[in-house]
Chains A and B, each alone.
Chain A
């Protein structure tokens, strides 16, 4: 029972109800849904993005230039790659947490709040304990972020398990509380940077900073050790979900809570555990930002990462590897979007539109299938034969 591998059983001609089931039960995702739909979604979104630019009086050469800039700014140079990875890291971490929740049937909107609380905890550990060697201080600061995020999310899990309060509502409310709590904490003299009246924390000590990996090449390359953390998290989540007993219980209660309960799984405990895991990952995302990028906490430091991570998890079809790829795509869009502004002078808001379009098309796979029937007919057969 414990080591059930998640191999989808492809049926030759899925009926409508089976198709629905496939979407509801995300571990039966197929190659098509995981790869073809996102690729077409991106293409459609880019085309529609170009049309949007046309509609706002951007000339054709500028549109071409801006898409070239998008590629250059995301993968076109070492610096671009470094920026893509830097932007992707927190999205992947928080996205993994949300994906874990999806697998267990929990819609966790609270990553933003968990990220704030986690970042806050790790900054406090990061600036307070001086004279610690890095090998102790850095893990401690990361752990603080994960623990705080996990505990904060566990509140919503406990509310769901104990009282039935829906986690969507409670996590949204916990987000608001987290925002204000961070505002408040940042004004406390022990946390606030000395000499400042605005909410800003003291800076993280060097011994707790995630070291920059490529500083020896160019000091402006920002990619930091957080990316290693991300890879470790992808493996860990994959292992938990697909190789461990607890992960099987997560997925079982996600697919059919009643069946899981009748099979003897403690559904309340599972809900709390899933939320705690998810919150720990979001908290790590916050720690990653604070210890690797920002060095300090300000009220806006979460920057909507917790919400974008929901899109990343959806785009990645709640699969750890999918989340990794989706996070990289979003990171690339962010880094490339900056370059679009610099070299083509196109507004950064356009990138937001393209991102939103991608999400819309991915969330509606049937629409994409309708738009590109030929694409799916062909890949249908070839992918079937490739899938184990």
Chain B
């Protein structure tokens, strides 16, 4: 991840993009291939697709998507978008990395962009979009450690791949940092950043797994859980809804789940947002302006590419002192005084 930072590209990504002038955009078409989990997963794929929707609204382009139902679909889906109709093909997810590279090498004139993957060495017609999610997860870990009543936090992931484990790394280290600062002994179940082993559902679509894994962690006394598995986490939220948020709170990922999963909104302490919508929009814009270049874009706390969502219903539960500390830590991370990698 650190190596990727060296090749930061792109003037960054404002959270609220100014409405752009409608360029000769009617013919511009952006095509997206989702990962498994579906376009309406309230989370990962949906956030990335929102970037295209925003581009449709603001830039007047045409957007299309193809859902992958299984890993066998990746290559076929990308192939069916080839043929010149798409000005840029955006693939969403680390697991599409190999398929995207194969297609990009076979079709050097087609522009590609991929969320959550950076190529080393870079491929000239692929722009990778990656996120320093650990920065925001660090804040969430600190917050959770300050909020837990049992002294036990839990996390689990979808698949043991870097874009997932980076959440868990940051969360774990944020909680550890809280312990160091406050002399507490909050433990994090489900992930060990040193051995790189932890709890994984091995899929990104089973809500049942999300429920079962959260139940297991709850049985081990965890009262705040961070599921990092796209829609799988919705199953965990359903459990928290039944138990009641005073017994089990959930931290969302990718989008602000309070907004995307309103039925269970009250169980979310916060969400670690990964602004794929913002970077996707930015990539589309650059491509329209003819500024497309292969390489990597990195979303950070500093450029709002990643962030911690508001507490919403739990605003009053979070002590003001803790809010202040979080603000200090956020600044520390942005200034480079706090290293979220250790």
Contacts and interface: CB of A to CB of B under 8 A. Distances in A.
Interface in A168-227: 183, 196-199, 219-220, 222
Interface string B300-311: 000000000000
A73 B80 contact: yes
Contact of A222 (B31, B70, B79): B79
Contacts of B76: 83, 86-87, 222, 335, 338
A299 B70 CA distance: 10
Contacts of B192: none
Contacts of B69: 303, 348
20 contacts: A79-B83, A83-B79, A198-B161, A199-B160, A222-B75, A222-B76, A289-B72, A294-B71, A294-B72, A298-B71, A299-B202, A299-B203, A300-B72, A301-B71, A338-B76, A338-B77, A341-B67, A342-B80, A345-B64, A347-B67
Contacts of B82: 220
Interface in A87-124: 87
B160 A197 contact: yes
B66 interface: yes
Given A199-B160, A342-B66, 5 more contacts: A199-B202, A222-B75, A222-B79, A298-B95, A303-B69
Contacts of B71: 294, 298, 300-301, 303
Contacts of B81: 342
B150 interface: no
Contacts of A345: 64
Nearest to B105: A219
B66 A338 contact: yes
A293 interface: yes
Nearest to B107: A220
A293 B64 contact: no
B88 to A, nearest CB: 15
B66 A293 contact: no
Interface in B119-171: 159-162, 165
A293 B106 contact: no
B67 A300 contact: no
B106 A220 contact: yes
Interface string B63-99: 0111101111101110111110000000000010000
Contacts of B75: 222, 293
B36 interface: yes
A219 B106 contact: yes
Nearest to A351: B69
Interface in B249-266: none
Contacts of B80: 73, 79, 83, 338-339, 342
B196 interface: yes
Closest 10 CB pairs of A and B: A303-B70, A303-B72, A198-B161, A300-B71, A219-B106, A197-B160, A198-B160, A198-B159, A338-B80, A348-B67
Q: Identify which of A197, A300, A301 gathers the most chain B CB atoms within 10 Å of its CB.
A: A300
A178 to B, nearest CB: 14
A293 B72 contact: yes
A76 to B, nearest CB: 12
A14 interface: no
A60 to B, nearest CB: 21
Contacts of A341: 65-67
Contacts of B202: 183, 199, 299
Interface string B15-47: 000000000000000010000100000000000
A8 interface: no
Given A222-B79, A338-B80, A197 B196 contact: yes
A79 B79 CA distance: 9
A304 interface: yes
A220 B79 contact: yes
Contacts of B103: 220
A338 B34 CA distance: 13
B208 to A, nearest CB: 15
B2 to A, nearest CB: 16
B79 A300 contact: no
A87 B72 CA distance: 10
A221 to B, nearest CB: 9
A335 B36 CA distance: 17
Interface string A337-354: 011011001011000000
Interface in B302-322: none
Contacts of B77: 338
Contact of A301 (B64, B72, B83): B72
A340 to B, nearest CB: 10
B217 to A, nearest CB: 21
A73 to B, nearest CB: 7
Given A197-B165, A198-B160, A220-B107, A304 B70 contact: yes
Interface in A283-326: 289, 293-294, 298-301, 303-304
Nearest to A299: B202
A96 B64 CA distance: 37
Q: Identify which of A86, A183, A342, A345 gathers the most chain B CB atoms within 10 Å of its CB.
A: A342
A196 B76 CA distance: 24
A75 B24 CA distance: 35
Contacts of B67: 341, 347-348
Contacts of A303: 69-73
Contacts of B162: 197
A122 to B, nearest CB: 16
Nearest to A83: B76
Contacts of B64: 342, 345
B69 to A, nearest CB: 6
A198 B73 CA distance: 19
Interface in B96-118: 103, 106-107
A300 B70 contact: yes
